[in-house]
């Protein structure tokens, strides 16, 4: 197992290096021309551009540029100067509490309700409750987050002032307000996942129920509830772990761009959205690496979790 | 008078499907006496597995309809409530399934799966149950059981898994062991070992056995009585000696003829029964074997009852309109290939 962890860790670093390299390539191959011109702005003189090109090292060969960028990234200095004059690392740091709060809360909600919906729907398969749940799940999956978010904000926070109208209050500042401000974003973000996880789990459960080992458990006289939890659910949840690992990684890595933007949470996702809108390359590289780190990290976690959950793939 | 443990009386199991009603079991009756081995033989789809699973109520579902009775020690298991029936499952009547590769939960240790069965029915400590699991694994011939008890199913070979399944089934010292094609998924060399093991353990555990198979060779050694099933019905039922040495039903002849024999002259090719089993939704009128039977005649359009036509004791029942003399004459040719249809 230790060797497995070490191997997986080395692989994880390799993947990050490759990702960083591809992100870096954006600078060189992206259409729209010279990054120096883009950074210099509309009214730049020739001299400005030349200076920027020299200061940023765009006149160096690409591998030197790559090396410089990585050095800066790991010395906590990635592209000190941006439009706001605040470093990318600091910007991301500022967004992390909001992003993490959103991701963790929403994940708890979608996991709880997703499993609940899946189990109820599978156990009443074919009956009215299952059909109703299926209908709602499909609606949930089909609703775009920005549309649902805007509706929720308009009807629940603006027309009726039941909820605060966007924004983020740090947990350390006021836990009650933190919770209150995040409630709507949590549910809006979770809706899609609840529907999706519910559908996937329902299918898994209905497949697993017909497994021979479930019949064996019933033939042993094991009580239905125990058969359901220990034999059916235990095995049905294994694929959900993969889904959850990757979805959670995407959201915690700033992937909830739409939710963060609609509710004005000033998280990493919103920062990414602004940077993309402004075609601001340094932050794009920053948030991409940030997101990639979580994806890679959580895929490794998923592998470990799999090894724990399924003895067949446990390395010996 | 031997004690009758299980009395299946005119059992019908029908499943409603989108294509129509599947008559999986259509009037099956047999008795299992204490200490005896009953072999139920038939090809796939003959209803033998459904019959055995219905004894334990494992076929219950919204689309299933049952008629008749399954009496175990004078209690009707067929109409019994689910929670009451659960006290019998694995405890009084235990079951071994066909495919040991899929019949164990891959995520739990073999020992824990045996322990689960024990603690379901008995109020014993985990440690006691575990010790019993080790003991059971030793009895079924697993080497180093005190170590293998903590293995996962995938660390066992197919034969070992079936041994572990047998250990699991015997964990609560059941009165009846139902083995549903226990050797079908195994290598031929392992098959004989498993059958021998079941035969030995039934004496050690003082259990009766229902051995379900499509292979007459499997029951030849161990069964006391044999029921041959076809299309949801028993077509021939008697002692092993009666069924093997004086088979009355053409379907049984077909089964016997398809077994390779070393003690007779080699035929050009093994005989097979022509055609395929009928659809259980649209059963043929009269004798269900009629469309495949080389000896069918006009009367076969009427459904023959299961009767003791040979007039023997113990009874030797069959469902064929031919006279016993006609059968004895036709039989030799059918079994040995010359007159196979």
Output the pLDDT for position B52.
92
CA distance B69 to B84: 16
User: What is the spatial distance between Cα A184 and Cα A156, in angstroms, rounded to a whole number?
Assistant: 9
Asked if A185 and A102 touch (Cβ cutoff 8 Å), the reply is yes
| A119 in Cβ contact with A233 (< 8 Å) | yes
Residues of A in contact with B107 (CB under 8 A): 234-235, 238, 309-311
Q: Is B240 helix (H, G, I), strand (E, B) or coil?
A: helix
**Minimal Cα distance from B152: which residue of A?**
A311
**Minimum mean pLDDT range among A210-219, A239-248, B67-76, B301-310:** B301-310
Distances (CA, A) of A148 to A152, A197, A258, A263: 6, 18, 10, 11
Q: Among B51, B32, B59, which Cα is nearest to B233's? A: B51
Closest CA to B110 of B139, B153, B160: B153
Q: Nearest Cβ partner of B120 from A216, A220, A238?
A: A220
Rounded Cα distance between A312 and A296, Å, is 23
Helices and strands of chain A, counted as H and E runs: 14, 0
Residue B60 dihedral angles phi and psi, to the nearest 5°: -60, 145
Q: How many other C-beta atoms are found inside a 10 Å radius of the C-beta of residue A307?
A: 17
Residue contact B103–A215, C-beta within 8 A: yes
Q: What's the pLDDT band for A316 if we cut at 50, 70, 90?
A: low
Residue B213's beta-bridge partner residues? B41
Distance from CA of A186 to the nearest CA of B (A): 34
Inter-axis angle of helices A175-209 and A128-142, to 10 degrees? 120
User: Which residues, in sequence order, are bridge partners of residue B9?
Assistant: B69
**Residues in chain A within 8 Å Cβ distance of B103:** 212-213, 215-216
The radius of gyration computed from the CA coordinates of chain B, to the nearest angstrom, equals 21
pLDDT band at B339 (very low <50, low <70, confident <90, very high): very low
| Spatial contact of B322 and B307, defined as CB atoms under 8 Å apart | no
Q: B39 near B252, Cβ under 8 Å? A: no
A220/B contact by beta carbon, under 8 A: yes
Q: What is the pTM of this model?
A: 0.82
Contact A220 B168 (CB under 8 A): yes
Categorize the per-residue pLDDT at B340 as very low, low, confident or very high, splitting at 50, 70 and 90. very low
Strands, DSSP E only, in chain B?
4-17, 20-33, 37-41, 64-72, 75-76, 93-96, 176-180, 208-213, 225-230, 233-239, 317-318
Q: What's the pLDDT at B341? A: 40
Please give the torsion angle defined by the CA atoms of residues A122, A128, A129 and A133, in that order, rounded to the nearest 10 degrees.
Answer: 80
| DSSP class of B315 | -
Q: Determine if the peptide bond prior to B314 is cis (ω within 30°).
A: yes
| Mutate which: A124, A212, A213, A219, vs B, most B CBs within 10 A | A219
Q: Which is it for strands B64-72 and B4-17: parallel, antiparallel or unpaired?
A: antiparallel
What percent of chain A has a predicted confidence (pLDDT) above 90? 36
Residue B11 bridge partners (DSSP): B28
A29 band by pLDDT with thresholds 50, 70 and 90: low
Tokens representing residue A139 in the block: 């609606």
Is A219 in the B-facing interface, judged by CB distances under 8 Å?
A: yes
pLDDT, one tens digit per residue, over B161-192 is 999 999 999 999 999 999 999 888 888 888 88
Residue B240 in tokens? 């092993």
Whether the Cβ atoms of residue B179 and residue B198 lie closer than 8 Å to each other: yes
Q: Average pLDDT in the A300-308 region?
A: 87
3-class SS of residue A238: helix
Helices A88-123/A128-142 angle, 10° precision: 160
Strand partners, B8: B30, B70
Would you say residue B327 has pLDDT above 90?
no
- Answer yes or no: is pLDDT of A70 > 80: no
Q: Which two tokens stand for residue A156?
A: 């629940």
Confidence of residue A314 (pLDDT cuts 50, 70, 90): confident
Interface confidence (ipTM) of the complex: 0.88
Cβ-contact A266, A168 below 8 angstroms? yes
Selection from A15, A4, A181 nearest residue A97 by Cα: A181
Q: What is the per-residue pLDDT for A35?
A: 67
**Option in A220, A224, A310 nearest B116 (CB):** A220
- CA B162 → CA B45, B95, B138, B168, distances in Å? 23, 12, 14, 10
pLDDT greater at residue A201 or residue B306: A201
Better-predicted residue by pLDDT, B38 or A23: B38
pLDDT digits (tens, 9 = 90+) for A244-269: 999 999 999 888 888 998 888 889 99
Chain centroid, CA B182 distance in Å:
9
The rounded distance, in Å, linking the Cα atoms of A242 and A264 is 30
Which of A17-31, A257-271, A297-311, B309-323 has the least mean pLDDT?
A17-31
Helix (H, G, I), strand (E, B) or coil at B70: strand
Question: Percent of chain A scored above 70 by pLDDT?
Answer: 90
Question: Two tokens at A204?
Answer: 């898994």
* Residue A234 forms contact with B (CB below 8 Å): yes
The helix/strand/coil state of B179 is: strand
Portion of chain B with pLDDT greater than 90, in percent: 52
* Higher pLDDT among residues B46 and B335, named by residue: B46
Distance (Å, rounded) from C-alpha B98 to C-alpha B100? 6
User: Are A219 and B86 in contact (CB < 8 Å)?
Assistant: no
Q: What does the mean pLDDT of chain B come to?
A: 88
Cα–Cα distances in Å, from A37 out to A86, A275, B173?
20, 17, 84
Rounded Cα distance, B91 and A292, in Å: 54
* Interchain contact A221–B (C-beta under 8 A): yes
Mean pLDDT of chain A: 85
Q: Decide if pLDDT at A111 tops 90.
A: yes
Is-contact B216 B259, C-beta < 8 A? yes
- Contact partners, residue A101, CB within 8 Å, separation at least 6: A168, A171, A178, A182
pLDDT tens digits for range A156-195: 988 888 888 888 888 888 999 999 999 999 999 999 999 9
CB B80 within 8 A of CB B57: yes
Pairing of strands B225-230, B208-213: unpaired
- Dist CA A50 CA A59 (whole Å): 9
Reduced to 3 states, what is the DSSP secondary structure of residue B120? helix
Would you state the pLDDT for residue A237? 92
Tokens of B73: 């020690």
Q: What is the pLDDT of residues A118-133, one digit of tens each?
A: 999 998 888 888 999 9
Instruction: Spell out the residues 6+ positions from residue B303 whose beta carbon is closer than 8 angstroms to its own.
Output: B285, B286, B287
């Amino acid at each position: 197992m230790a060797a497995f962890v070490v191997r997986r860790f080395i692989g994880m670093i390799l993947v990050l290096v490759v990702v960083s390299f591809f992100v870096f390539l954006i600078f060189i191959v992206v259409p729209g021309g010279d990054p120096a011109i883009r950074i210099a702005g509309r009214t730049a003189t020739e001299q400005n551009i030349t200076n920027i090109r020299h200061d940023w090292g765009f006149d160096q060969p690409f591998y030197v540029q790559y090396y410089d960028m990585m050095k800066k990234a790991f010395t906590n200095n990635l592209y000190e100067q941006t439009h706001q004059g605040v470093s990318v690392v600091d910007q991301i740091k500022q967004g992390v509490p909001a992003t993490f709060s959103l991701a963790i809360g929403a994940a708890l909600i979608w996991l709880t309700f997703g499993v609940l919906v899946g189990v109820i729907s599978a156990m009443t398969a074919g009956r009215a409750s299952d059909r109703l749940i299926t209908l709602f799940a499909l609606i949930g999956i089909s609703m775009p987050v920005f549309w649902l978010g805007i509706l929720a904000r308009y009807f629940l926070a603006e027309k009726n002032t039941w909820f605060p109208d966007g924004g983020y209050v740090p947990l350390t500042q006021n836990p009650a307000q933190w919770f209150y401000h995040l409630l709507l974003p949590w549910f809006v973000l979770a809706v899609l996942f609840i529907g999706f996880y519910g559908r996937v789990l329902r299918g898994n459960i209905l497949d697993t129920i017909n497994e021979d080992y479930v019949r064996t458990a019933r033939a042993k006289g094991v009580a239905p509830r125990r058969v359901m939890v220990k034999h059916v659910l235990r095995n049905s949840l294994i694929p959900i772990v993969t889904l959850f690992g990757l979805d959670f990684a995407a959201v915690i890595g700033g992937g909830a761009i739409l939710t963060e933007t609609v509710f004005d949470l000033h998280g990493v996702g919103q920062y990414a959205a602004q940077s993309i809108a402004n075609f601001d390359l340094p932050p794009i590289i920053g948030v991409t690496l940030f997101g990639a780190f979580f994806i890679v990290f959580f895929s490794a976690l998923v592998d470990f979790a799999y090894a724990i959950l399924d003895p067949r793939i446990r390395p010996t | 008078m031997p004690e009758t443990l299980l009395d299946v009386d005119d059992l019908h199991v029908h499943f409603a499907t989108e294509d129509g009603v599947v008559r999986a079991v259509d009037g099956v009756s047999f008795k299992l006496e204490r200490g005896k081995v009953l072999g139920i033989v038939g090809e796939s789809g003959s209803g033998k597995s459904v019959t055995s699973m219905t004894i334990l109520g494992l076929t219950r579902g919204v689309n299933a309809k049952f008629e008749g009775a399954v009496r175990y020690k004078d209690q009707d298991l067929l109409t019994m409530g689910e929670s009451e029936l659960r006290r019998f499952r694995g405890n009084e009547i235990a079951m071994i399934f066909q495919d040991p590769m899929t019949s164990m939960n891959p995520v739990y240790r073999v020992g824990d799966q045996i322990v689960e069965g024990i603690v379901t029915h008995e109020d014993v400590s985990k440690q006691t149950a575990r010790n019993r699991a080790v003991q059971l694994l030793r009895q079924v011939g697993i080497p180093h059981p005190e170590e293998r008890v903590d293995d996962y199913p995938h660390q066992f070979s197919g034969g070992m898994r079936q041994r572990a399944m047998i250990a699991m089934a015997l964990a609560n010292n059941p009165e009846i062991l139902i083995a549903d094609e226990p050797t079908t998924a195994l290598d031929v060399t392992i098959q004989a070992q498993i059958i021998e093991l079941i035969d030995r353990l039934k004496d050690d555990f003082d259990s009766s056995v229902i051995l379900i198979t499509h292979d007459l060779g499997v029951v030849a050694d161990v069964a006391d009585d044999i029921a041959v099933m076809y299309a949801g019905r028993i077509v021939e039922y008697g002692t092993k000696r009666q069924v093997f040495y004086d088979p009355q039903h053409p379907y049984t002849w077909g089964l016997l003829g398809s077994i390779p024999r070393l003690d007779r002259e080699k035929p050009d090719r093994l005989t097979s029964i022509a055609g395929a089993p009928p659809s259980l939704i649209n059963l043929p009128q009269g004798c269900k074997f009629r469309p495949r039977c080389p000896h069918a005649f006009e009367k076969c359009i009427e459904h023959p009852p299961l009767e003791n036509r040979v007039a023997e004791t113990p009874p030797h029942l069959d469902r064929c309109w031919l006279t016993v003399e006609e059968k004895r004459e036709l039989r030799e040719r059918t079994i040995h290939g010359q007159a196979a249809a």
